Amino acid sequence: MILEKGVEEKTFYLNLGPQHPSTHGVLRIVLEMDGEYIVNSDPVIGYGHRAHEKMGELKTYQQFLPNMGRVDYLHALAYNQCYCMAVEKLLDLKVPERAEYIRVITCVLNRISSHLLWFGAYLMDLGAFTPFLYCFDDREHLLDLLDGLTGSRLTYCFFRFGGVPVDIDADFVAGCRAFVSRLRSRWDDYNNLVTKNVIFINRTRDVGIITRDQCIKYGITGPILRGSGIPYDIRKSEPYSAYPEFDFEIPIGSTGDIYDRYIVRLAEMEQSCRIIEQACNKLPDGPIMAEKVPKRIKPPVGEVYQAVETARGEFGMYIVSQGDVKPYRIKLRTPSFANMSLFPEMAQDNLVADLVANLGSIDVVIPEIDR
Amino acid sequence: MEEKTGEPLVKLAVLENVLNLCRANSLWPITFGLACCAIEMMAAGASRFDLDRFGAGVFRPSARQSDLMIVAGTISKKMGPAVKRLYEQMPAPKWVIAMGNCAISGGPFNYEGQYAIVPGADLIIPVDVYVPGCPPRPEGLIEGILQLEEKITKRGRLRKYR
Amino acid sequence: MSSQNIIQSLQPILGPDRLSELDYAATGCHLRGEAQPDQMPALAAAMLEQKFYLESPTALDLMESFEVVYHFASFYELCRLVVHVPVAVGVDVPTISQVYPAADWYEREVWEFFGITFSGHPNLKNLILPEDADYHPLLKDFVASS
């Protein structure tokens, strides 16, 4: 008798976050579901808003330096580098060659640590706990190196306008070489454990495909763009710092699914090892700070846009100066903001079980979205 | 009996001490990383700085199953009500560690004219242990957990070595 | 050469003397354009046809008026274009989110931080600030009350 009345179907709302183990920070996604399928999704951001851009207007140029380590704490040195380069452009400062090499070596080491953390955390999201422990072990060896040089493990504030404050010594270079050979001995472990794992392949092949058209319309950059087949890396197409001196490749994928993005990130770690090796071999002697760095940073009137390639994509800084000690406007163009805005389209009409795999493969850092 | 000897009929103090020892040696934190300090919390739970040897390595996603909230990161004004609600969802006895300068007092984001953050977790929930640092090293967080154990048991672990 | 293509395709939309070349080493951009608010949708469509992506729309508070600033760049060739759109207080800017879906979130951010309305936007409400926040923090005369 109950079945004679007929069945009525409605969609329901499911709330993911802001406290959730797999959202990589404080992100809330409101899902409209039809059974297991997602009809609509609406990311609610802003739970990590710390007002960096307003702080940029209220602090002097030097006082804003520590903020850059907190915007994206996983690849903090690249953000430091972008800010320093932007202000050096405004001041027309030339950074000495040894300082550029030190900047590149530390930045690339930081990139490896960011990708290792992504690797471990993503596989933990998918349910595999072992790679997390392996990756964090590798990462600790790397952090020992950077800790000895900069004094911080995570939120670095190591670069200064005009160069770097501390020089590297032979111990650091030997440590880099030892770390690179140690990491390279791990590739077999990671490939056997994860890359060839049939469960991993089934969960990530042909899931979460992002097309090139979507990349252009949404402004997607970084490993996601390269996983979809467009070989755009700012270190190659708009070379800055000491990158033109090194020989490295840009790994790209073909289909744009999660598996391709994973392979791209793994390959980027190997290319980063190549850059570190070459930099350690070619390290020039010389000063580490520019000659005439003004004590009061007061750039002339003007505006500048500086972009660098971080582990998540293209980070751009737009600084407007009105000739004061404080910037007039600092705009942070963070890659995770653009990458996250694609998420509703990517999640639509997919299973909720694939949602976590999709979200993790975009590799977002929430404080970077919320600034 | 109480009038004769002055001692209570049922001695619950010993039971309470044993229970406190059990609670202190198996604190279950809630996975509540807000910002940068979350990464150091993950590192404290990972291979080198293993929190599991202190019994505190079982991170529970659900507030109903945990008894320790490690507030790791800046609390923004939008997130404040969520923190309070999660704290209220945890069953008693529960403890809070404020990890990092942002959770203690707003940290580097506390300045004249800040509109976006709550300058300190103790403005919304009661905090037991403060672990300073930006971010604190994983060893610092472990020291905070050991201090919390001392607070719970009044004895502390490894006291003769510290 | 990308710059020449851009100048050719944008000149009919913007009019003469609205595009100038910039010193790339000093400013990080190759071209600078000045546009009126109602020219933006056509400009965005022209840039999408040239396969440029929208980098970061933002705004400047110039005390008596605003200026909305758009940056465009390309994956295929090194060419950066910055477009300045002067906007008087209370004037709407047409949305470009039907051309570039990325602009959806950027325009919401500009709305909540500066108070500039984008006409035709499907969902113009707070993105980063709390839903009930009624202040615009990045204005120069904004003072935090608490």
pLDDT tens per residue, range B85-114: 999 999 989 999 999 999 999 888 888 878
Output the CA torsion C114→C117→C121→C124 (10° steps).
Answer: 50
Pairing of strands C93-94, C118-119: parallel
pLDDT tens per residue, range B127-147: 999 999 988 999 999 999 999
Q: Provide the domain count of chain A.
A: 1
Taking an 8 Å cut-off on Cβ atoms, the answer to whether B78 and C143 are in contact is no
- On the question of pLDDT at A99 being above 80, the answer is yes
The whole-angstrom separation of Cα B22 and Cα B26 is 6
Pairing of strands B75-76, B95-99: unpaired
- On the question of pLDDT at A174 being above 90, the answer is yes
Put simply, whether C130 touches A (Cβ < 8 Å) is: yes
Taking an 8 Å cut-off on Cβ atoms, the answer to whether A54 and C100 are in contact is no
Return the residue of C nearest to B79 by Cα.
Answer: C130
Weakest-pLDDT range from A106-115, A181-190, B16-25, C17-26? C17-26
Q: What is the pTM of this model?
A: 0.91
Sorted by sequence, the CB contacts under 8 Å of residue B65 that are 6+ apart come out as: B28
Using an 8 Å CB-CB cutoff, list chain A residues near B76. 46-50, 370
Partner residues linked to A314 by β-bridges: A309
Give the domain CATH number at A169: 1.10.645.10
The minimal CB distance from B78 to the residues A49, A73, A155 is found for A49
Are the beta carbons of A315 and A334 closer than 8 angstroms? yes
What is the mean predicted confidence (pLDDT) over A263-291?
A: 91
Q: What is the DSSP string of A27-53?
A: -EEEEEEETTEEEEEEEE--TT---HH
Establish, for the pair of chains A and C, how many residue pairs have beta carbons separated by less than 8 Å. Answer: 94
pLDDT at A226: 92
Sorted by sequence, the CB contacts under 8 Å of residue B42 that are 6+ apart come out as: A121, A136, B33
pLDDT at C135: 85
What is the mean predicted confidence (pLDDT) over A10-20?
A: 84
Residue carrying the six token digits 């750039």:
A299
The fold of B28-148 is: Rossmann fold (3.40.50)
Taking an 8 Å cut-off on Cβ atoms, the answer to whether C144 and B114 are in contact is yes
What is the mean predicted confidence (pLDDT) over C15-36?
A: 84
Task: Write the secondary structure of C32-81 as one string of H (helix), E (strand) and C (coil).
Answer: EEECCHHHHHHHHHHHHHCCEEECCCEEEECCCEEEEEEEEEECCCCCCE
Distance from CA of A155 to the nearest CA of B (A): 7
Are the beta carbons of B36 and A70 closer than 8 angstroms? yes
Sorted by sequence, the CB contacts under 8 Å of residue B109 that are 6+ apart come out as: A50, A51, A55, B74, B102, B116, B117, B119
What order do you get walking across the sheet with A302-310 strand by strand?
A: A302-310, A313-321, A329-333
The whole-angstrom separation of Cα A319 and Cα A91 is 12
Domains of chain C in sequence order: 2-119 (3.30.460.80)
Distance from CA of C70 to the nearest CA of B (A): 26
Taking an 8 Å cut-off on Cβ atoms, the answer to whether A19 and B82 are in contact is yes
Residue B131 Rama label (left phi>0; alpha psi -120 to 50; beta): beta
Predicted ipTM of the assembly: 0.91
Q: Which domain holds residue A352?
A: 3-370
Partner residues linked to A78 by β-bridges: none
Are the beta carbons of A223 and A261 closer than 8 angstroms? yes
The whole-angstrom separation of Cα A60 and Cα A90 is 14
Using an 8 Å CB-CB cutoff, list chain C residues near A331. 56, 58, 69
The Cβ of residue B21 has, within 10 Å, a number of other Cβ atoms equal to 15
Put simply, whether A338 touches C (Cβ < 8 Å) is: yes
Residue A349 Rama label (left phi>0; alpha psi -120 to 50; beta): left
pLDDT at B28: 92
Q: Which of C69, C68, C48 is nearest to C6 (CA)?
A: C48
Q: pLDDT band for position A281 (50/70/90)?
A: very high
Classified as helix, coil or strand, C31 is strand
pLDDT tens per residue, range A263-273: 999 999 999 99
Q: Which of C22, C47, C5, C78 is nearest to A233 (CA)?
A: C78
Using an 8 Å CB-CB cutoff, list chain C residues near B113. 143-144
Taking an 8 Å cut-off on Cβ atoms, the answer to whether C144 and B115 are in contact is yes
- On the question of pLDDT at B3 being above 70, the answer is no
- On the question of pLDDT at A27 being above 80, the answer is yes
Put simply, whether B84 touches C (Cβ < 8 Å) is: no
Sorted by sequence, the CB contacts under 8 Å of residue B79 that are 6+ apart come out as: A18, A26, A47, A48, B34, B118
The whole-angstrom separation of Cα A358 and Cα C55 is 23
Chain A contact partners (≥3 CB pairs within 8 A): B, C
Taking an 8 Å cut-off on Cβ atoms, the answer to whether C53 and A345 are in contact is no
What is the mean predicted confidence (pLDDT) over C16-25?
A: 82
Q: pLDDT band for position B155 (50/70/90)?
A: confident
Return the residue of A nearest to C123 by Cα.
Answer: A42
The minimal CB distance from A329 to the residues C60, C101, C129 is found for C60
Weakest-pLDDT range from A269-273, B103-107, B158-162, C127-131? B158-162
Taking an 8 Å cut-off on Cβ atoms, the answer to whether B135 and A155 are in contact is yes
Taking an 8 Å cut-off on Cβ atoms, the answer to whether A51 and B116 are in contact is yes
Classified as helix, coil or strand, A309 is strand
Establish, for the pair of chains B and C, how many residue pairs have beta carbons separated by less than 8 Å. Answer: 14
At A315, give phi and psi (nearest 5°). -105, 125
Using an 8 Å CB-CB cutoff, list chain A residues near C126. 46
pLDDT at A208: 86
The minimal CB distance from B134 to the residues A54, A155, A366 is found for A155
Contacts 24+ apart (CB under 8 A), B21-27: B21/B153, B23/B67, B23/B93, B23/B152, B24/B148, B24/B149, B24/B152, B24/B153, B24/B157, B25/B54, B25/B55, B25/B149, B25/B157, B26/B55, B26/B56, B26/B58, B27/B55, B27/B56, B27/B67, B27/B68, B27/B95, B27/B145, B27/B148, B27/B149
Establish, for the pair of chains A and B, how many residue pairs have beta carbons separated by less than 8 Å. Answer: 99
pLDDT at A5: 65
pLDDT at A263: 92
Taking an 8 Å cut-off on Cβ atoms, the answer to whether B113 and C137 are in contact is no
Question: Counting beta carbons within 10 angstroms of the beta carbon of residue A75, is it exposed (0 to 12), middle (13 to 18) or buried (19 or more)?
Answer: buried
Q: pLDDT band for position A334 (50/70/90)?
A: very high
Weakest-pLDDT range from A8-22, A49-63, B77-91? A8-22
- Contacts with C, B 111-130, CB within 8 Å: 113-116
Q: Which of A4, A48, A15, A29 is nearest to A360 (CA)?
A: A29
The whole-angstrom separation of Cα A92 and Cα A297 is 12
Q: pLDDT band for position C129 (50/70/90)?
A: confident
Q: pLDDT band for position B46 (50/70/90)?
A: confident
Contacts 24+ apart (CB under 8 A), B109-115: B109/A50, B109/A51, B109/A55, B109/B74, B111/A55, B111/A58, B111/A59, B113/A54, B113/A58, B113/C143, B113/C144, B114/A51, B114/A55, B114/C144, B115/A51, B115/A54, B115/B77, B115/C135, B115/C137, B115/C142, B115/C144, B115/C145, B115/C146
Sorted by sequence, the CB contacts under 8 Å of residue B80 that are 6+ apart come out as: B118, B124
